[in-house]
Chain A
Amino acid sequence: DAGVIQSPRHEVTEMGQEVTLRCKPISGHNSLFWYRQTMMRGLELLIYFNNNVPIDDSGMPEDRFSAKMPNASFSTLKIQPSEPRDSAVYFCASSRSAGGWDTQYFGPGTRLTVL
Chain B
Amino acid sequence: DQQVKQNSPSLSVQEGRISILNCDYTNSMFDYFLWYKKYPAEGPTFLISISSIKDKNEDGRFTVFLNKSAKHLSLHIVPSQPGDSAVYFCAASGAGGGSQGNLIFGKGTKLSVKP
Q: Taking beta carbons and an 8 Å cutoff, which residues of A are in contact with B?
A: 4, 33, 42-45, 48, 50, 55-56, 58, 91, 93, 97-101, 103-109
Contact = CB atoms under 8 A, between A and B. Distances in A.
A97 B104 CA distance: 16
B97 A50 contact: yes
Contacts of B89: 43
Contacts of B44: 43, 91, 106
Nearest to A48: B102
A45 B43 contact: no
Interface stretch (B14-22, B45-53, B56-64, B68-76): B45-53
Most buried by B among A48, A101, A105, A109: A101
Given A100-B32, A105-B46, A56 B51 contact: no
B45 to A, nearest CB: 7
A33 B103 CA distance: 10
Given A43-B108, A99-B93, A106-B45, 12 more contacts: A43-B107, A45-B103, A45-B104, A48-B102, A98-B98, A100-B93, A101-B51, A101-B93, A106-B36, A108-B41, A108-B42, A108-B43
A100 B94 contact: yes
A42 B21 CA distance: 17
Contacts of B106: 42
Contacts, number: 65
12 contacts: A43-B44, A43-B108, A44-B105, A55-B97, A56-B102, A58-B99, A91-B44, A100-B32, A100-B94, A104-B46, A106-B45, A107-B43
B96 interface: yes
B49 A101 contact: yes
A93 B97 contact: no
Contacts of B43: 4, 91, 93, 106-109
B46 to A, nearest CB: 5
A100 B105 contact: no
Contacts of B42: 108-109
B105 A97 contact: no
Nearest to B2: A42
